[in-house]
Amino acid sequence: MRNLIKCFAVVSVLLLGGCTKDFEEINIDPTSVSDLSSDALFTQVTLATSGGEYEAWRNNLIYNTQFVQQFASLSWEQGDKYLYNEGYNSALWDAYYGNCIKGLTNLIAKTADVPDDVNYRSAARVLKAFAFLRLTDSYGDVPYFEAGKGFTDGIYYPVYDEQQAILTDLIKELSEAGSAFDASKPFKGDVTSYAGNIDLWKKAANSLMLRVAMRMSKKDPGAAEAAASKAVAGGVISSYDESFRVLQLPGAFVNPNSNVLGYFNGGRLELSNNSFKFSETFIELLRSSNDPRLKILSVVRTGDTGSANPGTEDDTEASQKGLPSGSINGSTDDIATYSQLRSAFADADDANILISHGQTLLLMAEAAERGWISGDGEQLFRDGVAASIKQLSLYNPPAGLVDAAAADAFGASVAYGSSTDDKMKAINTQYYIVSLLDGYEAHANWRRSGYPVVTPVNYAGNYSGGEVPRRFQYPASEDGLNKANKDAAVSRLGGPDNWNSRVWWDQ
Amino acid sequence: MRQLLLTFLGILFAHAMALAQTRQLTGVVKDAGSGEPVLATIKIQGTSTGTVTDFDGNFAMKVSNTPLVLEVSSTGYKATEVNVDEKMTNIVINLEVSSVEISEVVVTALGIRKEKKALGYAITEVSGEDLTQARTNNVMNNLVGKVAGLNVVSTATGAGGSSRVVLRGNTSLSGGNQPLYVVDGIPIDNSNRGSAGEWGGRDAGDGIQMLNPDEIESISVLKGGAAAALYGSRASNGVILVTTKRGKQSKGLGIEINSNFTTESVMDLTEWQYEYGHGVDGQKPADQATAASINLNSWGAKMDGSSVPQFDGVSRPYSAQKNNVKDFYQTGTNLNNSITFNGGSDKFRYNVMASDLNNQSVIPGSTLHRNNFAANVGMTPTTKLSVNFSGRYILEKVKNRPRLSDSPGNANFTIGILPTSLNQQTFKDSKLNANGGENVFNGNPYVTNPYWAIEDFQQEDSRKRFIGNMEARYNFTDWLYLRGRLGADQYTRSNFEVTPTGTAYAPGGQINDQSKNQFNERNAEVILGVNKMTQSNFGIDMFVGGNAMKQVEETNGYGGDNFFVPGFYNINNLQNKWTNYDYNEKRINSMFGSAEFSYNRMLYVTVTGRNDWYSTLSPDNWSLFYPSASASFIISEATQMPDFVSFLKLRGGWSKLGGDRDPYGLTLNYGLGSNTFNGLPVGSIATNTIPNKNLKPYQMVSSEIGLDARLFHNQVGLDLTFYTRTTTDDIISSQISQTSGYGSVLINIGEVSNKGVELLLNLTPFKSKSFTWDLSYNMGYNKNEVVTISDQLETSRIANARSLTAFVDHIVGKPFGQVMGYDYKRNASGELLLKDGLPQRGELLSYGTGVSPLTLGLNNDFRFGNFNFSFLIDGRFGGHMYSGTNDFGTYRGKTERTLEGREGGIVVDGIDETTGEKNTTNVSAQSYNQSIGLNISSEFIYKSDFIKLRQIIFGYTLPSTLFGEKGIRGASISLVGRNLLILKKYVPNIDPESTYNSGNGQGLEWFGAPPVRTFGVNLNLRF
């Protein structure tokens, strides 16, 4: 019996005493930390804003660039023929909210009371404004004020905000962020071309404010004018190499934009596979105005398919031939004879230009013509065209291809027109060309301005009734997960939740 | 050794006798026929003194130094009286089996053997013999159709894949739903080391598959809470107890050799259209560039045998190729040899075995090789002490596990979608381009040449695993014992996976993963037990104990892309590298106790309790108590029953269980990317799931009642169970709107209910000396309902199909895992609303659960002299599945349904949405089907019901008279077959069991490996 008692004692001590010993320490993950410095987080959110292959390929290249007939394809026919694919339609939403908005919202929240982190906070607010403009341009009313706050505020089902309220807040954010930058405070981890230069960041904030302002030109000219003049007065991007861009490196962080067309690991290899072509609309637009960019951008590729070696890239203007949007196999010549993007513009380490000098000057030209800012509209236009060509050198194309003098000459000679309509057409047509590879922007400005005029394709089974789509549909995932808020947004849309209804600024 | 031991014991006993006026009588009770130990009650005639034997049949008691008579009884055996003279101290008692009574001793929780009749819950035991003849490489797949209430789903990946095993329905909405596996008392890891999702991947197998069926003595399936409650939280989904073979005293040499050889061949279930070939818009590809740049569409012209250019520049006849599946897949083989040495004496027994398994899959280049070494050694150095060691070492190597689901690197996908005007051989002949890379053959580089996928992609993994258990039991007295156990399960898994240089979508190549994963779980357990029969027929069997569990898992891995030197797949040859380090540790400490009270061997009441403390939860919530109670009443012992009732028992049980979660889920953490960007660290929030520091263990209350009856001299056996299981506070990784920044949040809110019935019916319709027909039928029906998901959500998404148009959702008020699809857009009266003559996508609707609620199994076993023949038919009913193969096949024009309207188009029956008039617009078959394919997914949701001829065994046991006294003791040969026929199914082109992973989101199919039919022979020799 004594043995029995001893045994009980041993067992009890062994177990009861040790039941929860060290349990709290054991449950701390040794592979992660409870906090990270703001610069390390800032690097990641910048890359997330620049984007990833997932949405760059789907929303941007397959849809946006093909909707506006910059590109066309026989293999990825969803875009130029307006065919619906849920994954393509929703890629930007999923990628941005799940990564960039999450990271930006968190960084902005956690630096709110840290005076030394004011530059990370301000830059994050600029990036957040950039990202939300893309989202609201693409889908319309979207979760904004409550977005990305799943952890910080426990909001799992954010309300969709009206686009007008979003744009108004973006202007406020850009204004506050721009003036909050402080040169005396640290600013590391900046992987944009600005490398921590606060003056340039302020210019980017103002240039973006100008972009937001001009979106409202039709729907709320008063607000547009106020914001545009404020932006320009604050100072905007003023040379082509000040264009706001995110650096890229080959390797783990490769290809966060349209360069996914190129031939490298993780790329889509569309150029070497001979499948992603310039649209006839785009090629003929360049050709008709003797634009030097026809030679710079467009080539006919010969050589092996599926190989890193681009073979011969024939850039003779006469050889260039765009694929008519909406083409189907059998109605075309040999697919290899159609023009493609020169591979130098889709290298793994090509920069991703978020806001360019050319775009900014062209928006200023329009603002000036509308009388919203002072300045000579025509001169801004001509400088804008020249800058648009010069900024192509940021992609490191073959030496001598981009010639500054030729750019200036073309800028000086390109037709402008005398009527307001002609001027608007000239400005926005140029905006369309300079926004090549940023399909989000090309599509948005095309919707706003209507230029250049593109002839829609009415392909059997298309999703937009033979019209160029005006927005993306809300992702199907929101149906199951955030239906009430989504439905409220749809009720404000002025039409069904499809590709034809127009976002607020487009109405 | 034996001599020495006996001498030692002799001295010990002599010493003991000198000391006392009484003597110590020890002995063992055995089955007179088999020599197996028997649980028996021993009483000294004319006194109230008595004892019971332990699970090894041993007993010890103090008796007077006079002659006496022992009354020995045990259920199922004839009561026996044994004379013991005044000098005897050791005795062997053999009991004869009684013809009517049933005695089954089964292994219950914590390895405690109990008489089945004492149990207040259902337990199913499957004997090792049922697993070895028509064997499967994952032993769990062999339980299909054999256990009522057990649902096994195996991944469509060939040998080495994981299985999903669910007992009595799914209880947790997003947690694990699979049972705990315990081998010889030691919980073992069964995690799935990699699986395919909607974006593809490989199934990397699970833990239980590594066991060799030859070493298994029996498998006890503890389905209900009361059966499993002693294992605490880890057993909330039931327990599968594997008991391995122990040594026995035997005649002969005790050597057994088993050899099993089977061939595997694909079951080609495809019924494609063979009229229209590669192309789009009714056109044949005009030239090589077009042929190589359009996708694998079967929307071309009618196949007319004309010469048409293909992707490699060669023109070939435009005619139907019907044997692509048959020609691409090969005949696989499976050879499994094992040798067992078994033997022992009173004091020492052993079972040592080694086996070798070699499998060549039907997918060329995909192989599985496994060696199992196992030893089970028991010693009884004194009557008070017994020690048992059970250990196994397993080496498993798998090469080229096939990729499943999405297209990259997935040969099954390309073969599945290949237009029938192309011959798969062309892909072998024209695999390479001029640079030695993958020749581009379609517009999407992410669709891989099937030969490039199987010949150039490389994957290899190996696991070295040790599972060991040491157990010692000391009997202080005849009624008090202490048992201690130490258990270890540890393995190292190495994985190497390469995307070769020259792959169309990754030209620079990649080391996807080169990693080493180390898993280690230790358990230490002590129990102190009392086992006593009092004079007035009251019995008590109780114990208390504790267990400490520590589990550590550590992974080191790296990878990278862009090889400098093509084809040299070494980490140093990579331009970009990344690294990965993972560490997980958790502990559970527990105390538990059990008490069984019995009266007169007719009424048994058992109560148990266990308290678990978890390291993964916060101090406020980390302790939880799990009670259970059960009772068994043997009516046939208590009252006089009609003659035809041999045995009748009622039973019932109740329990409360729970489950914890993974470590580190309480706080928000940040992680760093494995690479720097331009030398800068890249940091971000490490999780897509919002953490919750207030998480507590979920709770599951289950109850069951049952009936066990044997009628007509055991010719009819009926076992019927009704049960309910309700989970509350389920920890949900609930999907939330991505606009919150996160994909999901962990909350303690889910509620799931399961109600079900299980039936096992055994019949012997005919029995004579030379011919016996045994029939066994089992049925399990489980009604599941998701009661609560969260305070805000009525639905929760757990899986997406690759098309992103079909999903598996939980929906409140409906069974677990609803298969969701888009309906057509319809008007109020159900007519289709068309636009431009084409159907449009309408509402997202649920089409039923992906988990079949009803499972049936029917086995017939015929014995005729030395011949035996058995066949097993099983079926699953009431489930649904989305078939991506049929959806994508329709989008691409390969399914038979796409033939309608190829010439002349289709006027779809419906209403034009804009005009409101009946539609008159004619559309092409391509437009029509592409408006349905990958869009209106409800068209591709089918009943997943099936009936299969699962297994046939035709055996012959060589008559023992053929062999002399020495040498061969027995020999048998069997012809075996598995997965022979699908007798009934509803889904075209695929196997209704096809699934690409073993996770919770069941009911999605997307280009898995085709099902395999096996035939073979099993040879067994005993010396």
> Do B404 and B414 reside in the same domain of the chain?
no
Given a cut of 70, whether residue B687 has pLDDT beyond it is yes
The bridge status of strand B689-690 relative to strand B744-767 is parallel
Contacts of A93 in chain B (CB under 8 A): 738-739
Q: Is B134 inside a domain boundary?
A: no
Contacts of A480 in chain B (CB under 8 A): 735, 795, 797, 807, 809, 820, 844
- Spell out the residues 6+ positions from residue A279 whose beta carbon is closer than 8 angstroms to its own: A66, A69, A70, A71, A72, A80, A322, A323, A324, A325
What 3 state SS string does B385-424 have? EEEEEEEEEEEEEEECCCEECCCCCCHHHHHHHCCCCCCH
> Do B283 and B258 reside in the same domain of the chain?
no
Q: How near does any CA of chain B get to the CA of A136, in Å?
A: 13
**Contact between B445 and A269 using a beta-carbon 8 Å cutoff:** yes
Looking at chain A, which residue has its C-alpha nearest residue B805? A86
What 3 state SS string does B869-897 have? EEEEEEEEECCEEEEHHHHHHHHCCCEHH
What 3 state SS string does B669-697 have? CEEECCCCECCECCEEECCCEECCCCCCC
> Do B514 and B654 reside in the same domain of the chain?
yes
pLDDT-wise least confident of B119-123, B539-543, B678-682: B678-682
Q: Is B845 inside a domain boundary?
A: no
| Cβ B970 vs Cβ B977: under 8 Å | no
Question: DSSP per residue over B779-828, as a string?
Answer: EEEEEEEEEES-SS-SEEEEEE-TTSSEEEEEETTS-SSEEEEEEEPB-T
Confidence at residue B362, expressed as pLDDT on a 0 to 100 scale: 95
Encoded tokens for B304? 């007319």
Number of residues written out for chain A: 507
Q: What are the pLDDT digits (tens) for B865-920?
A: 889 999 999 999 999 999 999 999 999 999 999 999 999 999 999 999 989 999 99
SS3 content of chain A, % helix, strand, coil (to 5): 50, 5, 40
- CATH at residue B32: 2.60.40.1120
Q: Among B515, B483, B651, which residue's Cα sits nearest to residue B580?
A: B515
d(CA B704, CA B719): 13
**Contact between A273 and B528 using a beta-carbon 8 Å cutoff:** no
Nearest by CB: A329 against B290, B663, B673? B290
pLDDT band at B258 (very low <50, low <70, confident <90, very high): very high
pLDDT band at A387 (very low <50, low <70, confident <90, very high): very high
Q: How near does any CA of chain B get to the CA of A176, in Å?
A: 24
Question: DSSP per residue over A90-102, as a string?
Answer: HHHHHHIIIIIIH
Confidence at residue B535, expressed as pLDDT on a 0 to 100 scale: 63
Q: What are the pLDDT digits (tens) for B589-608?
A: 999 999 999 998 889 999 99
Given a cut of 50, whether residue B4 has pLDDT beyond it is no
% of chain A at pLDDT higher than 70: 93
Given a cut of 70, whether residue A239 has pLDDT beyond it is yes
SS3 content of chain B, % helix, strand, coil (to 5): 10, 50, 40
DSSP state of B197: B
Q: Among A151, A148, A101, which residue's Cα sits nearest to residue A129?
A: A101
pLDDT band at B7 (very low <50, low <70, confident <90, very high): very low
Q: What are the pLDDT digits (tens) for B623-648?
A: 889 999 999 999 988 888 888 888 99
Interface test with A, best of B480, B498, B740, B834 (most A CBs within 10 A): B740
User: What mean pLDDT comes out for the span B433-461?
Assistant: 92
Given a cut of 50, whether residue A7 has pLDDT beyond it is no
Mean pLDDT estimate for chain B: 89
Given a cut of 60, whether residue A11 has pLDDT beyond it is no
Cis status of the peptide bond prior to A456, with omega within 30 of 0: no
User: What mean pLDDT comes out for the span B64-79?
Assistant: 78
> Do B37 and B181 reside in the same domain of the chain?
no
pLDDT band at B287 (very low <50, low <70, confident <90, very high): confident
**Contact between B736 and A157 using a beta-carbon 8 Å cutoff:** yes
Contacts of A156 in chain B (CB under 8 A): 690, 736-737, 740, 745, 792
Q: Among B387, B388, B410, which residue's Cα sits nearest to residue B459?
A: B410
Residue-number span of the structural domain to which B810 is assigned: 139-266+332-409+457-816+851-879+944-1022
Q: Is B841 inside a domain boundary?
A: no
Domain count, chain B: 3
**Contact between B293 and A84 using a beta-carbon 8 Å cutoff:** no
Q: Is B891 inside a domain boundary?
A: no
Confidence at residue B14, expressed as pLDDT on a 0 to 100 scale: 42
Confidence at residue A254, expressed as pLDDT on a 0 to 100 scale: 53
pLDDT-wise least confident of A72-76, A304-308, B172-176, B227-231: A304-308
Given a cut of 60, whether residue A167 has pLDDT beyond it is yes
pLDDT band at A255 (very low <50, low <70, confident <90, very high): low
Nearest by CB: A74 against B294, B506, B582? B294
Torsion over CA: A339, A342, A346, A347 (sign): positive
Q: Is B834 inside a domain boundary?
A: no
Given a cut of 70, whether residue A381 has pLDDT beyond it is yes
User: What mean pLDDT comes out for the span B416-420?
Assistant: 95
Task: Find the radius of gyration of the CA atoms of chain B.
Answer: 32
> Do B704 and B762 reside in the same domain of the chain?
yes
Q: How near does any CA of chain B get to the CA of A204, in Å?
A: 22
Given a cut of 90, whether residue B267 has pLDDT beyond it is yes
d(CA B530, CA B525): 17
**Contact between B670 and A102 using a beta-carbon 8 Å cutoff:** no
d(CA B533, CA B51): 6
Encoded tokens for B123? 């337990």
Instruction: Using the 3D structure, point to which of B393, B420, B452 is the last residue of a domain.
Output: B452
Given a cut of 80, whether residue B369 has pLDDT beyond it is yes
Number of inter-chain CB pairs under 8 A, A vs B:
328
Given a cut of 50, whether residue A257 has pLDDT beyond it is yes
User: What mean pLDDT comes out for the span B945-964?
Assistant: 87
Looking at chain A, which residue has its C-alpha nearest residue B499? A265
**Contact between A268 and B445 using a beta-carbon 8 Å cutoff:** yes
Q: What are the pLDDT digits (tens) for B826-873?
A: 999 999 999 889 999 999 999 999 999 999 999 999 999 889 999 999
Nearest by CB: A251 against B482, B575, B582? B575
> Do B256 and B307 reside in the same domain of the chain?
no
> Do B741 and B768 reside in the same domain of the chain?
yes
> Do B58 and B159 reside in the same domain of the chain?
no
Q: How near does any CA of chain B get to the CA of A165, in Å?
A: 17
> Do B469 and B416 reside in the same domain of the chain?
no
d(CA B370, CA B135): 14
> Do B256 and B290 reside in the same domain of the chain?
no
Q: Is B832 inside a domain boundary?
A: no
Nearest by CB: A252 against B666, B671, B675? B675
Q: Is B935 inside a domain boundary?
A: no
Nearest by CB: A11 against B442, B526, B924? B526
Side chain identity at residue B167, one-letter code: L
Confidence at residue A308, expressed as pLDDT on a 0 to 100 scale: 66
Interior angle at CA B826, CA B823 and CA B828, nearest 5: 130
Q: How near does any CA of chain B get to the CA of A418, in Å?
A: 42
Q: How near does any CA of chain B get to the CA of A62, in Å?
A: 13
**Contact between B616 and A27 using a beta-carbon 8 Å cutoff:** yes
φ/ψ of A419, rounded to 5, equals -75, 155
Instruction: Using the 3D structure, point to which of B38, B64, B95 is the last residue of a domain.
Output: B95
Confidence at residue A253, expressed as pLDDT on a 0 to 100 scale: 54
d(CA A127, CA A205): 9
> Do B646 and B728 reside in the same domain of the chain?
yes
Q: How near does any CA of chain A get to the CA of B17, in Å?
A: 22
Q: Is B521 inside a domain boundary?
A: yes
**Contact between A252 and B508 using a beta-carbon 8 Å cutoff:** no
Given a cut of 70, whether residue B9 has pLDDT beyond it is no
Contacts of B833 in chain A (CB under 8 A): none
**Domain architecture of chain A: domains with CATH:** 40-254+349-466+468-473 (1.25.40.390)
d(CA B929, CA B909): 14
Confidence at residue A356, expressed as pLDDT on a 0 to 100 scale: 97
Write down the H helix ranges in A17-117.
23-26, 38-50, 53-55, 65-67, 86-95, 102-110
Q: Among A378, A301, A291, A305, which residue's Cα sits nearest to residue A338?
A: A301
Mean pLDDT estimate for chain A: 91
d(CA A392, CA A293): 9
Confidence at residue B249, expressed as pLDDT on a 0 to 100 scale: 76
pLDDT band at B768 (very low <50, low <70, confident <90, very high): confident
pLDDT-wise least confident of A101-115, A299-313, B637-651, B670-684: A299-313
Nearest by CB: B504 against A48, A253, A306? A306
Q: What are the pLDDT digits (tens) for B466-523?
A: 999 999 999 998 889 999 999 999 999 999 999 999 998 888 899 999 999 999 999 9
**Regarding predicted confidence, which is higher, A503 or B42?**
A503
> Do B736 and B804 reside in the same domain of the chain?
yes
d(CA B593, CA B602): 23
d(CA A455, CA A468): 9
Q: What are the pLDDT digits (tens) for B973-1008?
A: 999 999 999 999 999 999 999 998 888 889 999 998
